[in-house]
Amino acid sequence: MMAFKIIQHVQEVFSGNKVEIPAFNPQEGLGKMSEIKAAALAKYAKDKQALVGINTNVEDKQYYLVAEAGSEKGDTTFEIPAGLYAKFETIETARTAIDQFIGQAYSEVAQSEKVGIGGNFNLEDFRGAGLTLYIPVFEK
């Protein structure tokens, strides 16, 4: 069981570059998705301390946006709306381990008696030590 907090997150705007990632295939596992995310981070992440990753579904396609706070840093802008979020933290740095952590975090929220998953995106925040993951939620 993973511990998480429910927090009120402020609105933030991020901009950067996006890459399409394949839909999760249980037979393939997380490998292909993790490879694409790692390559996107290597290509677009100029300042690791300012970095966030946003997983989002737009028009039935899954994207990974490598971004920084602000609206003039790339070809795509994404607004994280203010609201309730499940907050998870880890010190993992390996991409596959991070994606496994994200999968476990979603499982924890899905099993929660207090909240449900409230959006089609999440925020991977690398601006501190390790990773802080924010999943939008709603109160049940």
Q: Residue 9's pLDDT is what?
A: 96
Domains (ranges, CATH) in the chain?
5-139 (3.20.80.10)
Distance CA 90, CA 102 (A): 10
User: What is the four-CA torsion angle of 57, 101, 44, 52, rounded to 10 degrees?
Assistant: 80
Structure-model confidence comparison of residues 25 and 69, the more confident one:
69
Q: State both tokens at 125.
A: 């925040």
Q: d(Cα 78, Cα 19) in Å, to the nearest integer?
A: 14
Nearest-angstrom CA–CA distance, 55 and 110: 17
Are 84 and 43 contacting, i.e. CB atoms less than 8 angstroms apart? Answer: no
Helix (H) or strand (E) holding 116: strand 115-117
Tens of pLDDT, residues 51-105: 999 999 888 899 999 999 887 778 899 999 999 999 999 998 889 899 999 999 9
Question: 82 versus 44: which is more confidently predicted?
Answer: 82
What mean pLDDT is predicted for residues 120-138?
94
Is the per-residue pLDDT at 23 higher than 80?
A: no
pTM for the whole structure: 0.92
Contact 123, 47 (CB under 8 A): no
The distance from CA 41 to its chain's CA centroid, rounded to whole angstroms, is 13
Work out the pLDDT band at 20, boundaries 50, 70, 90.
very high
